[in-house]
Chains A and B, each alone.
Chain A
Amino acid sequence: MAELCAVIGVGQTKHAAIRGDVSIPGLLREAAFRALEDAGITFADIDAVILGTAPDQFEGIMMPELFLADALGAVGKPILRVHTAGSVGGSTANVAASYIESGLYDRVLTLAFEKQSESNAMWALSPKYPFQPPITSGAGGYFAPLIRAYMRASGAPDHIGCKVAYKDRVHALKNPYAHLHIEDISIEKVKASPMLWEPVRYLESCPSSDGCAALVLAREEVADRHSGPKAWVWATEMRSEPMQFAGRNQVLPQAGSDCAKSLYKKAGITNPQAEIDVAEIYVPFSWFEPMWLENLHLCEPGEGWKLTDNDETTFGGRLPVNPSGGVLSTNPIGASGMIRYAEGALQVRGMAGDRQVDGAKVALGHAYGGGSQFFSMWIVGSDKPS
């Protein structure tokens, strides 16, 4: 890196199914002001704005960064719009980090949002094309068969999915920003919830949310002058592969594995299982927790489900995963990746409130998208990278 980058401000909205009290600009400004306040600066101090959101069909607005430019304080500044499918929240932060790392910008504001109540994601994701069968299945219909394939290959017992769902929903009760707060959650309640896309149950699936996340990133010299705690960006990485080709492993894609290996190498991490204290991983359907633990080399191959089963992925375990409640509890699609990154940054800054993992010094943020084919990740630490 030409320059070190640090997170000096984090903001997010109160996520909810319908944020009818705010417009789209209002939603973004809620997160932006919280991030700016955390950083102790204003829009005037920002040199560039990087915005991410999922397909424009969701809200029916083409390139919404254009009409949002003034609401985001971007007039007279560069604004860039990233779109990398579901991984977009992560890759948007990666792009913003490269603005800082280039040495050409001092402070960058990056945001990712989705206002699903002003859109119809199921419709946007399942249009009718002549080369696809006349089936509208939604995202669950795409991923459920992959989950079945993982269950078969790993021999994981059926209850793992319910266990992940229960754990993340309990975690969400500690997170005031989370969309879903199910106070009476229990394993039995998860098991009894309707099968939507067998083997995926209703309570094993992510909700549709309105929400936005924002980060203020700064160059080393600027961050050093900042009084509050910082999350230093040790490394960012991205990988993509085609959606379908002969012999592709769609369950545990090589792009995810390559991305993690390269990320750890850049961050100077030789033993990720020992050196990472907390992970915020993109888990839209419960079974993806064990799948991604394997793909991310955070356990031995075939053993992801055992970490979950042995309570190693909750508070007090070997690697707390999604202490925020994760995507299962909050899913403004375009923002979900950046929320992972933001929660990781809060953890290493010691600012995660009731969901703080004791002594967290190194955090992984992870996002994926498309047909499990786009991956974005970063590692942030309490200290500067060595």
Chain B
Amino acid sequence: MSEDAQGPITMIRTPVDLEYNISAGPDLTLFLRGLKEEKKLYGRRSPNGDVYIPPRGACPVTGQPMLEEVEVSDHGTVTTFCLINIPIEGQELKPPYVFAAIILDGASLPLFHMIAGIAADEARMGMRVKANWKPDDELVLSLESINYFEPSGEPDADYDSYKEHL
């Protein structure tokens, strides 16, 4: 077969299909069980007193093991956000949607999730939000147990109250 006749081959498809298990470890197990079995958000206190959610296998600042479990609220404050307008492979929501950093009441650093229940252009820093959970029989071992966060109706938080969390 002459190359000239058909042109050079510039791309071949060679699919890679590998299946992995996740090794959750004790800390992630605590977090995932809370989501599925109790509709609660569990974090852990670090040796210097901060509450991490999801809990980490070790304190990122000191490298020491984490301490006791702490339940944090499913209400929080949007610290910052962006509006996603771009279609991306694997996406489950239809753009546009809001991707936000939310500092849950009782946590020391933000959790990332999406915001719904408002027009996309109404999203703002300082907005108070609460979790919208899946029905009890649809809860899973994943953050997907929370559909999204939505406005809680509380007044916006002052910039000074969350600016350390940006």
Measured CB to CB, the residues of A under 8 A from B are 18, 20-21, 60, 117-118, 120, 122-123, 126, 128-138, 140-141, 144-149, 152-153, 194-200, 242-251
Binding site for A on B (CB under 8 A): 8, 10-11, 14, 16, 22, 24, 28, 31-32, 46, 50-52, 54, 59-61, 79-86, 88-93, 97, 99-101, 108-109, 112-114, 125, 140-144, 146, 159, 163-166
Q: Which A residues touch B142, using CB under 8 A?
A: 130-131, 134
Taking CB atoms, residues of chain A closer than 8 Å to B28 are 130-131
27 contacts between A and B (CB under 8 A): A20-B11, A60-B16, A122-B88, A128-B90, A130-B144, A131-B31, A131-B54, A133-B114, A133-B144, A136-B88, A136-B91, A137-B84, A141-B82, A144-B82, A146-B80, A147-B82, A148-B82, A149-B125, A152-B159, A197-B82, A197-B86, A246-B108, A246-B109, A247-B165, A248-B109, A249-B166, A250-B166
State the Cβ distance, A184 to closest chain B Cβ, in Å.
23
**CB distance B109 to A130 under 8 Å?**
no
Minimal Cβ-Cβ distance residue in A for B102: A133
Residue of B16, B51, B140 with highest tally of chain A CB at under 10 A: B16
Nearest-neighbour CB distance to chain A for B129, whole angstroms, equals 13
Find out whether the CB atom of B99 lies under 8 angstroms from the CB atom of A145.
yes
Known contacts A131-B28, A133-B113, A135-B112; A247 and B60 CB within 8 A of each other: no
Q: With A and B bound together, what is the CA distance between A197 and B60 in angstroms?
A: 29
Q: A135–B114 Cα gap in the complex (Å)?
A: 7
Q: Are B84 and A197 in contact (CB under 8 A)?
A: yes
Q: Residues of A contacting B82 with CB < 8 Å?
A: 137, 140-141, 144-145, 147-148, 197-200
Report chain B residues within 8 Å CB of A133.
112-114, 143-144, 146
List, in ascending order, chain A residues with CB within 8 A of B81's CB: 145, 148
Q: A153-B166, A197-B85, A246-B52 in contact; A130/B141 too (CB < 8 A)?
A: yes
Q: Is the Cβ of A145 less than 8 Å from the Cβ of B101?
A: yes
Q: Quick check: A245 and B60 within 8 Å, CB to CB? A: yes
Cα A145 to Cα B160 with chains together (Å): 17
Q: How far is the CA of A122 from the CA of B90 in the complex (A)?
A: 9
| Docked pose: A123 CA to B88 CA in angstroms | 8
Contact A242 B61 (CB under 8 A): yes
With both chains docked as a complex, state the minimum distance between the C-beta of B130 and any C-beta of chain A, in angstroms: 15
Chain A residues with CB under 8 Å of B60's CB are 242-245
By beta carbon, the residue of chain A nearest B166 is A149
Q: Which residues of A contact B89 (CB under 8 A)?
A: 120, 122-123, 136
Residue among B31, B52, B88, B93 with the highest chain A CB neighbour number at 10 A: B88
Do residues A131 and B143 form an inter-chain contact, with CB atoms below 8 A? yes
Would B10 and A141 count as touching, CB distance under 8 A? Answer: no
- Say how far A57's CB is from chain B's closest CB, in angstroms: 9
- Given A145-B99, A246-B52: A126 and B61 within 8 A (CB)? no
- CB of A245 within 8 A of CB of B50, answer yes
Other than A132-B112, A197-B85, give 9 A-B pairs with Cβ distance below 8 A.
A21-B10, A120-B89, A122-B89, A130-B24, A133-B143, A140-B86, A244-B109, A246-B46, A250-B166
Contact A145 B114 (CB under 8 A): no
Chain A residues with CB below 8 A from B61, complex form: 242, 245-246
Chain A residues whose C-beta falls within 8 Å of the C-beta of B144 in the assembled complex: 130, 133-134
Q: Which residues of A contact B101 (CB under 8 A)?
A: 145
> What residues on B are CB-neighbors of A196 within 8 Å?
84-86
Complex alpha-carbon distance, A195 and B85, angstroms: 7
| CB neighbours of A129 from chain B (8 A) | 22
Are A134 and B108 also in contact (CB < 8 A) when A145-B100, A199-B82, A251-B166 are?
A: no
In contact, A123 and B166 (Cβ under 8 angstroms): no
Nearest chain B CB to A245 CB, angstrom units: 4
Complex CA gap A312/B76 in Å reads 41
Q: Give A136 Cβ to nearest chain B Cβ, in Å.
A: 5
CB pair B50 A135 closer than 8 Å:
no
Query: How many angstroms from the CA of A63 to the CA of B83 in the assembled complex?
Result: 36
| Contact (Cβ within 8 A) A131 B86 | no
- Closest B residue to A61 using CB positions: B16
CA distance A49 to B26 in the complex (A): 41
Instruction: Check if A136 sits within 8 Å of B143, measured CB to CB.
Output: no
What is the minimal beta-carbon distance from B16 to any residue of chain A, in angstroms? 4
Residues of B within 8 A of A130 (CB): 22, 24, 28, 32, 140-144
Q: Knowing A130-B32, A133-B113, A247-B108 are in contact, say whether A197-B83 is a contact too (CB < 8 A).
A: yes
| Residues in A whose Cβ lies below 8 Å from that of B99 | 135, 137, 141, 144-145, 197
| Residues in B whose Cβ lies below 8 Å from that of A198 | 82-83, 85
B59 CB contacts on chain A under 8 angstroms: 245
CA distance A128 to B143 in the complex (A): 11
Closest to B78 in A: A145
Bound: A129/B93 CA distance, A = 16
A128 to B24, CA, bound (A): 14
Please report the C-alpha to C-alpha distance between residue A243 and residue B108 in the assembled complex, in whole angstroms: 14
Give A194 Cβ to nearest chain B Cβ, in Å. Answer: 7
Closest 3 CB pairs of A and B: A144-B82, A20-B10, A242-B60
